[in-house]
């Protein structure tokens, strides 16, 4: 792998040269000081800025071709409809739908994503072909069926063994779907399997008010957070998607265990699950707070920049506080916090970090202002300001061009009959 040098690019409002080699950021020096060797690819980045690649901490990538299939209906009716569609899908569908998702993620600046979906080998194949850094999951969802539990235990163990041959073992996780779709014995088995093998747990948690009410009724007044704590599930190795309906005690528990809580604002708004995400409280309690898009069946796109803007604006609105979720924190939620939650050296622009980077074109009307770059990026720009994307030290998009884009869409279109 040859070197890449990004010349005269803005980083923290200063023009610098950035050198990339062997998948890592190796040097960041004042602009004009790095000299290119014979095997170095150079890019003149005058008028551009560099930021970390976005990390989507909760999505269902292969739902990319389920946009618009469950509009204007309540959450549990929506969920039943999605499950009926998912009964029809196979590995071929997941491969092509995940490629569509990865294409969209590249075009909107995401370099890594925590997936929570079926047919993991095909999803991995798709993501790696497009050069992204996928965090994949074997999904546990036995629906209280003992025979299904045993089948999933065998499959999960086999999937984990296969993951040991991957270059990065940490990219395999176990996804416990939710407390309402996974039996208690299976939750305990999955937790023990994950902890025994040092892998992360990814779970939907406290997404709706109904989930909380049902849990309190079924488990002696405990909330979903209290219930998982009683089972020994919670810890810093847990990625908890949504965490929307939380009591003060829930916030304290999640913070004390250092859980990574993922806010999925667009999905929560669209399904009317709620909007009062307790960001300040979770942050102050010690939770690691990140952002996700959820799947396209609920959020309809995978645009993390849109997610950042909506998250911040809704926080300001419901708290009646314009200082809520400030700019530096919203960027960290989409980058550095997420890297920490995955235990990976990503989400940073610094020497020694993995080279997952976005090159942002600042010569459009969105940035024509004395305001800060970050303010213009989050509140003014759209994702088409992302000119080029580097992941694992390689260009996956250059000058807005993703190799094979037309073929990806054409091939995926043939899969639509599978889910009609």
Phi, psi dihedrals of residue 57, rounded to the nearest 5° = -85, 0
pLDDT at 77: 94
Kindly state the average pLDDT of the residues 182-194: 98
CA-closest candidate to residue 120, choices 149, 95, 146: 95
For a pLDDT cut of 70, what percent of the chain falls above it?
99
Give the per-residue pLDDT at 242. 98
| Residue 271 · residue 298 · CB < 8 Å | yes
What's the confidence (pLDDT) of residue 1? 67
Q: For 24-64, how does the pLDDT look when each residue is reduced to its tens digit (9 = 90+)?
A: 999 999 999 999 888 899 999 999 999 999 999 999 999 99
Question: Which class would CATH give 54-342?
Answer: alpha beta
pLDDT at 217: 98
* CATH 2.30.40.10 residue window(s) in the chain: 4-52+347-402
Looking at residue 170, what is its pLDDT?
60
For the entire predicted model, the pTM comes to: 0.98
Check residue 325 and report its DSSP letter.
Answer: S
pLDDT in tens, 222-249: 999 999 999 999 999 999 999 999 999 9
Query: What is the location of CATH 3.20.20.140 in the chain?
Result: 54-342
Q: What is the pLDDT of residue 168?
A: 73
Distances (CA, A) of 345 to 242, 284, 351: 24, 24, 11
CATH hierarchy code of domain 4-52+347-402: 2.30.40.10
Instruction: Kindly state the average pLDDT of the residues 385-401.
Output: 98
How far is the C-alpha of 298 from the C-alpha of 72, rounded, in Å? 10
With 0-12 / 13-18 / 19 or more C-beta atoms within 10 angstroms meaning exposed / middle / buried, residue 277 is buried
- What CA–CA distance (Å, rounded) separates 169 from 185? 26
Mean pLDDT (whole number) for 1-29: 96
Instruction: Write down the mean pLDDT value for the chain.
Output: 97
> What pLDDT, on a 0 to 100 scale, did the predictor assign at position 167?
83
In this prediction, residue 169 has a pLDDT band, given cuts at 50, 70 and 90, of low
347-389 pLDDT tens trace? 999 999 999 999 999 999 999 999 999 999 999 999 999 999 9
Q: What is the DSSP string of 152-173?
A: HHHHHHHHHHHHTTSS-GGGEE
């Amino acid at each position: 792998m040859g070197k890449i040098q990004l010349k005269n690019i803005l980083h923290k409002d200063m023009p610098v040269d950035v050198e990339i080699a062997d998948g890592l950021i190796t040097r960041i020096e004042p602009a004009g000081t790095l000299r290119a060797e014979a095997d170095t690819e150079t890019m003149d980045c005058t008028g551009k800025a560099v930021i970390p690649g976005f990390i989507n901490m909760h999505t269902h990538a292969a739902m990319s071709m389920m946009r618009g299939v469950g509009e204007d209906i309540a959450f549990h009716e929506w969920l039943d409809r999605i499950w009926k569609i998912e009964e029809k899908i196979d590995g071929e569908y997941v491969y092509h739908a995940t490629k569509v998702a990865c294409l969209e993620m590249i075009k909107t600046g995401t370099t890594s994503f925590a997936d929570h979906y079926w047919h993991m080998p095909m999803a991995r194949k798709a993501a790696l072909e497009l050069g992204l850094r996928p965090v994949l999951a074997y999904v546990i969802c036995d629906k209280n069926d003992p025979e299904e539990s045993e089948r999933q235990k065998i499959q999960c163990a086999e999937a984990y063994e296969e993951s040991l041959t991957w270059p990065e073992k940490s990219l395999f996780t176990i996804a416990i779907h939710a407390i309402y779709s996974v039996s208690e014995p299976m939750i305990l088995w999955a937790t023990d399997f994950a902890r025994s093998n040092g892998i992360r747990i990814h779970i939907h948690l406290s997404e709706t008010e109904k989930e909380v009410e049902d849990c309190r009724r079924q488990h002696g007044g405990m909330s979903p957070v209290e219930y998982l704590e009683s089972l020994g599930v919670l810890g810093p190795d847990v990625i908890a998607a949504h965490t929307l309906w939380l009591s003060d005690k829930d916030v304290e528990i999640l913070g004390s265990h250092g859980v990574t809580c993922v806010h999925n604002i667009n999905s929560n708004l669209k399904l009317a699950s709620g909007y009062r995400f307790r960001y300040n409280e979770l942050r102050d309690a010690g939770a690691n707070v990140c952002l996700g898009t959820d799947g396209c069946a609920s959020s309809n796109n995978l645009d993390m920049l849109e997610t950042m803007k909506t998250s911040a604006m809704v926080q300001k609105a419901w708290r009646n506080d314009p200082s809520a979720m400030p700019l530096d924190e919203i960027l960290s939620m989409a980058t550095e916090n997420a890297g920490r939650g995955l235990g990976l050296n990503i989400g940073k622009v610094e020497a020694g970090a993995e080279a997952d980077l976005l090159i942002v074109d600042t010569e459009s009307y969105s940035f024509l202002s004395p305001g800060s770059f970050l303010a213009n990026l989050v509140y003014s720009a759209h994702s088409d300001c992302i000119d080029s994307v580097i992941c694992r030290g390689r260009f996956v998009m250059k000058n807005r061009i993703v190799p094979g884009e037309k073929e990806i869409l054409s091939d995926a279109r043939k899969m639509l009959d599978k889910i009609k």
